[in-house]
Structure 1
Amino acid sequence: MFGFAPEIPLQDGPHELYGLPGLIVKAEDSKGDHSFTLIATKKVIADSDDLLSKKNKEIIVDEEKFRKLWADYKKDPVKDMRQSSGSSSISAPVSVSTSITFDGKTYSQDEMLKLIEKERKDALKNTNNFLELDLYK
């Protein structure tokens, strides 16, 4: 199902939906699994320097690279956290011990990483409603 506004002469819409003779303001698949509804529009005036800054620069990833990154993430969803917590910018050898207390229980850094990893892996098992199903196999 599509709803569009022909009075807004933009042939655009959410995700990969475009091409109608007006802005797509509502789209839903036949099962109702995915629904997009335009809730607001806003005119944005961006500085050209902001658009070209490194913070806003897109990183182009082809399908093969995406599949590898996704497989790596599913295997170890806290890899980046583990690597960043083990790195140090100090040239001399330094030993740092980190712990956090949550709900009256103290967790070591390794215990926290294991808990976060379990939560993320559980979330991956329960998340199965991707827009691009073939990419997430």
Structure 2
Amino acid sequence: MKTQDTFKFAETHEWASIEDDELVWVGISNHAQEALGDVMFFQAPKIGQQVKPGEAIAAIESVKAASDIHAPIGGEIIALNDEMDASPEIINEKPYAVWLFKIKPTSVDSLTSDLSALLSLAQYESGPGA
């Protein structure tokens, strides 16, 4: 099982985790779900959508606020987590176990570059996630 210390974090509070060196799972940090409060709705990106790092591609809404979800890496959206349609509140229960969508990187080189721009858990927790 993946642990949050292997994740990379965007300053905008998304996490990225590599699966089988080919796909990147994307979710939101514990800090983000705590700031949002009870999540009520997730507007997912589209399958096949091409995304750039840092681009706002989805939205999440709670009883307190709405927030954009940004792509932590560039590539193509290839999968959505169907659980988020039926039970978006699961993100509050286990933010590091619940992924929102998966991205197939544009290339190995772009993945390496995009991931190097993200933060480690320690960097994230001492900065935006503090």
TM-score, with structure 1 as normaliser: 0.21
User: Highest CA radius of gyration, 1 or 2?
Assistant: 1
User: Relative to total residues, which structure has the larger strand share, 1 or 2?
Assistant: 2
Q: Whose relative contact order is higher, 1 or 2, with alpha carbons under 8 Å and at least 6 apart? A: 2
